[in-house]
Structure 1
């Protein structure tokens, strides 16, 4: 285990809203000796984070052959939270000046960051998210990891696994195993999408999507089985660096209709043109980081948010559908 800490203000990173807002499904909140901890898996390591007013304390559990030093691990974590890319305090001031609704939301939902996730995990997590609720998505993602990932460690009597590699998910036998373990139609989507990505060049193809402009990257993602506009935008935003992507689900549509585009209230469905209208509205309002502000507004409008968090922990699926 490696231990380190570094300076990080709450206004630059709020773990609660960032890790429990539906971006990643591999983080859990624990209370140890009265202290809130967040335990999660990324980059084939288990991370335990504790936050104080201006300090982030970190414990990192690695496999025996992995002996990365503290300074390297800190850099991985900083990149994951994009701490050196975006100064949130400055941007919050800018966004608040443009939008009174954002200014009100920012009072409680400060320090919400877009995670820079691994594209493979991000893609297959959000394929699992369709027509689903957070606790079940989390269960599916953990099953994928335990079935096809590599074991990292045991911690507090829990086994932790890395997320599977593309080739492991592309194996023809995967679909049947996932179907028998509660994945339903998503089993086929996962296997087919993995096979399609491998045929296009695998992780090299995914890296190329980061270098494309947002529109082209989204078009390429939509060619994959099981990925429509909303999921493609989630992937663009959360793992490909296209921070202007706006995932529009029913909840975001309701926010736009109520607060920003009143004419939408007369519409009954989210058509392709309405989807684009909502995205363009926020991009025109906020600029190239519109997807970041969308995430903050999304969290702020989730019926007190803490109630949603409790629902997720208590496995009450009817409260919120994932995008």
Structure 2
């Protein structure tokens, strides 16, 4: 649930008073920027001080400060309305998802309460393909480092409104011209060839991202599986975190362990039809950090 408030004045959070100008204030229930940052679905979101986080999405930059339910988005009103509100999925009532949890399922009730501020982000398809190719047999800290490295080396240099210098995520065309081992210099290791070959498939039109965006879940998943290095888990992650197809339920080591322990007969997906991916995130976050 969102309670809206827009205004022009000096920010009073942290050192924001030196960044005078327009910002957008919202009172957000069931939203926690720290939990989202640590949920394993995004890798260009970083805490920079106190309750302030920087977010780089594609070629955009944002700083968000949260104190309780109060959030300050340092951007123009139009940027917030046109991009960031959708990016953070702020018009969705996550309380409704939680209300569907079987009260007898104490494990899932606990997981949802532990990760009560998580939202499923609407992220760029190409960026998520690369991110989850890199994620294989990797940890969050190293994934972030790899993505920062390739962005700084091959992404366009940009300057945010507050003077912060950052790099846009590199395009498929920028990576498609590289040798298959070139990204080893960015610490990708054997994943370098996955990213370069996939970039070539996108750049030469073998796989159309526009077409994938228009496909329903099962079709999109099958199309993504054509990309070199993309397996079932990675395809599901891309469907969930880029295409916002909430039917996707990625199963990695953490999820597999939880399913064996708490759902030996299988996770009750029928009960959570249409929001399976939200439940997956609660379980993943709970297993990762509880």
TM range (shorter): 0.7 to 0.9
Offset at residue 227 of structure 1 (A): 0.6
Q: Which residue of 2 aligns with 1:213?
A: 216
Alignment of 1:75-224 (within 5 A): 75-84=82-91, 86-97=92-103, 99-153=105-159, 159-173=165-179, 175-200=180-205, 205-224=208-227
Q: Which residue of 2 aligns with 1:57?
A: 72
Counterpart Cα distance in 2 of 1:20 and 1:55: 19
Counterpart Cα distance in 2 of 1:96 and 1:109: 17
Counterpart Cα distance in 2 of 1:301 and 1:179: 31
Q: What does the per-residue CA deviation read over 1:107-164, in whole Å, with 9 as the maximum and x for residues that have no partner? A: 3321211111001111101111111111111111011111111112279997410101
- 1:25 corresponds to which of 25, 43, 51: 43
Offset at residue 89 of structure 1 (A): 1.4
TM-score by length of 1: 0.77
Q: Does 1:301 align with 2:281?
A: no
Q: Which residue of 1 aligns with 2:5?
A: none
5+ residue gaps, structure 1, are: 61-68, 263-277, 305-323
Offset at residue 282 of structure 1 (A): 4.2
Counterpart Cα distance in 2 of 1:154 and 1:50: 16
For 2:100, what is the secondary structure of its paired residue?
helix
Q: Which residue of 2 aligns with 1:240?
A: 243
5+ residue gaps, structure 2, are: 1-18
TM-score by length of 2: 0.86
For 1:51, what is the secondary structure of its paired residue?
strand
- 1:229 corresponds to which of 229, 232, 240: 232
RMSD of aligned C-alpha atoms? 2.3
Contact 1:41–1:47 under 8 Å retained in 2: yes
Offset at residue 228 of structure 1 (A): 0.5
Change (3 A) 1:180 1:51: closer
Q: Does 1:288 align with 2:274?
A: yes
Change (3 A) 1:196 1:249: same
Task: Give runs of ≥4 in structure 1 deviating > 4 Å.
Answer: 154-158
Between Structure 1 and Structure 2, which shows a larger proportion of helix residues?
1
Contact 1:10–1:53 under 8 Å retained in 2: no
Counterpart Cα distance in 2 of 1:188 and 1:112: 33
Counterpart Cα distance in 2 of 1:80 and 1:142: 20
Contact 2:51–2:67 under 8 Å retained in 1: no
Offset at residue 14 of structure 1 (A): 1.1
Q: Does 1:36 align with 2:47?
A: no
Change (3 A) 1:154 1:57: closer
